[in-house]
Structure 1
Amino acid sequence: MFFDQHPLDLDLVAFIDQPNKGTSERVSDHILNCKVCTIRAHQVASNSSSLQQSEGDAVAVKSLAGIVPEGANSRPLASLINAGRVVEPQPGQLWRLHWEDVTHLALIASTAYGITFWPVTLDVELADESSLLVPASESGGIDLELAIWPAIETGVGAYVLEVYITDILPPERLQQLRRAYRSGGDLPVRWLPGAAGSGPESPRGRLRTDLIQVAGFLGEASWKPEEWTECESPELPLLADALSAAKVTATQLADALGIPPRRAISLCRGQVEPTPQELDGVRAAFGLSASGQADAPPQNVIDALDDPHTRGLILRAAAAEGKSEISLRRELAQGHFALAARKSGACENSTFEMLATELRKRIAAPQGSDD
């Protein structure tokens, strides 16, 4: 994928490692005409003889591209992220973010009012004066020099967090660093700034532009449909459930609302979205108050789907069923799991376990079978 017409580092690595596949011709033409990407490609190529890519769960990140230098005191980043540690997002943690076809490294900056992050890159030679360079000895055991970009702090949904990698700073020190950076005060760490840039068209300026656009894309990522509405009474049952509980038949519904029998049957089965007029008609005819499928599910359902701890299961289930992550999330939000959580009034932990159970069933189900 290209941002601001520059290939991502992942594209450059694929071009060098597999020159006859994918978008290599497009990348090659771009490199020949772009000084910035000529430099970036040279950096990747110069290290290619000592790079290692993990098999299976490769660390595909912009400026890491799934590979890290080998050496006596270093190890593949995948050996850290595959440890299976489950943590709550906290300031100072390094995470791998992923949405659609964009993957990126990020340092959690704040969790006070939602999650915000600072982009992280390995392009330390192209890091400008707004960035801070983290020595390899302070990179949380990764043994790689990192460039963090506090000036590009961006809010992001928790569902974009894919894998926790390591801790760079304790939460308190990161908060001190954030305040000092914003106020221009003395930093509580000995991290030096990058080199001074020489304009937006310079290599450093263009890299910064790329980072802003990637961060913006991740910040705008959302799986929730725009047509969802906030239900004024979240406890209201769905129309199909209300009709079933009151033993209202499709024939009675069709007669009361003056709608075709086929439409009434679909409404009773929850197969179509009721109109506001139909909901009002049901209320007038049967004294039933109900909500439509377009109403946003309860907050505990959304929180469970947003939880980074379910991300791996969601991705595996989506792959097993041949669906996109977004479509599966939306299906789960309005499907059997959400209905069960709504009916039972499950607490947050119970809802999480119900979702995890549903996802494990989907993963284990034979491919092509119906739920």
Structure 2
Amino acid sequence: MAAIGAVRIPDEVRAVVQAEPGEPAPAQLWRARWQQVVELLLIVEVDDAAVAMPIMLDDRHADAQTLVLAPGQTSLAVTLTVWIDLVRRLPLYVLDRHVGMVTVDVSRANWETAAIAAGARYGSDPVSRADRRHEIRAGLDDAMDVFATATWTPAGTGELARLLASAAIGVQQLADTLDITPQRALALRRGQVPASDREAAVLAPILGLSHQAVLEANPPPPAGLAAQMSRPRRRAQVVRLARRRGITEHSAWLAATYAVNAQAARQTGQSREPAWEERIDRYFQVALGD
């Protein structure tokens, strides 16, 4: 957020930046972050993913294929360069902070033309091969590829039952070790339910594996749960959980997802998809003390 912090912006916009992220929408400006890559984006379309373009908060590196919005066309009140030809379809979970919006109607097919009529302009061609605009464009192109291919959802090998059998851990021993009922221990031994974050932590040294490896030996989480855990506001909670526990974001994502899934699996006789959003809310209320 250094770029945003250096910009003199209205108080109401700063409040948006500092608030917990909501759902992304067209015409919004977001920070995207994955591993060590951080960029600002303009969202132009949202469904189960986000169609977005990289932006910068000045026009120093604008080339002939970029659109430069005037300060009056953004809530940040600064010149904003949009690399319209570097548009990508990105997973929602790379978005981690809403930073503002544009006043241009990006849902229109010819929105660039309308933006120019309202005060925007195109950049200019680089003056030489050494022009830094080439480097900036290449870096943004690489960053968008990182975002487009980012993934956190565990494949889930489903190997936990085999691992428990190989370690010759009986049902009663498993129940005593994990402080669970024999019924749940039997279900774990049969691979019918996933191990929770707590259970994985106890099993890790017994199986000679890392905590994360035990979690990933679970079956893959249900698609509905993974989709809910991929929303930007869930990522913000995952970040807080990681900081609280002193673990990586990826480990926190796995821990939260499998904890919610394990809790749902304890309920028998379900005839419909669990209310994942409510279950996730309850999990983070306890885990984060909200």
In the aligned structure 1, how far is the partner of 2:85 from the partner of 2:128?
A: 16
Identity of aligned residues (%): 19
In the aligned structure 1, how far is the partner of 2:285 from the partner of 2:193?
A: 29
2:68 counterpart of 1:133: yes
In the aligned structure 2, how far is the partner of 1:201 from the partner of 1:113?
A: 40
Shift of 1:329: 0.7
Q: Which of 143, 156, 159 is equivalent to 1:228?
A: 156
Counterpart residue number, 2:132: 203
In the aligned structure 2, how far is the partner of 1:304 from the partner of 1:267?
A: 35
Aligned pairs (5 A) from 1:1-371: 59-60=1-2, 64=3, 66-69=5-8, 74=10, 78-84=14-20, 87-112=22-47, 114-140=49-75, 142-169=76-103, 173-176=105-108, 179-180=109-110, 187-190=113-116, 191-198=120-127, 201-225=130-154, 227-228=155-156, 262-265=168-171, 290=192, 293-335=217-259, 337-344=260-267, 350-364=275-289
Shift of 1:265: 4.8
Shift of 1:325: 0.8
In the aligned structure 1, how far is the partner of 2:167 from the partner of 2:152?
A: 34
In the aligned structure 2, how far is the partner of 1:261 from the partner of 1:165?
A: 50
User: Closer, same or farther in 2 for the Cα pair 1:305/1:260, shift >3 Å?
Assistant: closer
Q: Deviations over 1:171-193 (max 9, x none)?
A: xx3122xx337xxxx71222211
In the aligned structure 2, how far is the partner of 1:331 from the partner of 1:262?
A: 25
Q: Deviations over 1:148-181 (max 9, x none)?
A: 11111122211111122333146xx3122xx337
Letter in 1 for 2:79: E
In the aligned structure 2, how far is the partner of 1:266 from the partner of 1:174?
A: 61
Q: Deviations over 1:225-258 (max 9, x none)?
A: 3x436x9xxxxxx987xxxxxxxxxxxx9xxxxx
TM-score normalized by the length of structure 2:
0.72
CA RMSD in angstroms, aligned pairs only? 3.6
Letter in 2 for 1:228: G
TM-score normalized by the length of structure 1:
0.58
For these two proteins, the number of residue pairs brought into alignment is 251
Q: Deviations over 1:275-322 (max 9, x none)?
A: xxxxxxx9xxxxx89477442111221022101122222111110000
